[in-house]
Amino acid sequence: MTENKRYKAREKGTGKWVFGTLYKLEYNNPLIDNDHIYTYTFIEEPNTKNACTKDVDLDTVCMYTGKLDIYENDLIKVGGDLGQVFTDIELEVWGVEFTDGTAVCLDEFDEASLKVVGNIFDD
């Protein structure tokens, strides 16, 4: 379920990062039995009077990890090591995979030691 989680994604047309909530909507296809159509709506500033939908590139959607300003697919430096933030859906855990191939749970690091240096979707 995607409701009530924070995300960022690249806005179509501008390429700018937008922040908000992703909603998955399901529709039954009346022409085909047991066929469902899914659409996603990205809402910037949900639950405020400034809430608005954004047309985003769904391939760039990154979920918030709950730590600092770190999102899925962010590139972070820990000391002198570079890693990419990922999630393991089955284990429900955030991790960092480093360039040498090792992976470590994100919770193993002190937040002060983490620095976001980019995202895999940055130019």
CA distance 83 to 58: 23
H helix runs in the chain, sequence order = none
What confidence tens digit (pLDDT) does each residue in 17-31 have?
999 998 887 777 666
Q: Torsions phi, psi of 25, nearest 5?
A: -110, 135
What is the rounded CA–CA span in Å between residue 121 and residue 105?
Answer: 22
What is the C-alpha separation between 37 and 103, in angstroms, rounded? 36
**By C-alpha distance, which of 6, 1, 52 is closest to 26?**
1
Model pLDDT for residues 44-102, shown as the tens digit of each residue: 888 888 888 888 999 999 999 999 899 999 999 999 999 999 998 888 899 999 999 99
Greatest CA separation for the chain: 56
Rounded CA gap, 76 and 70, in Å? 8
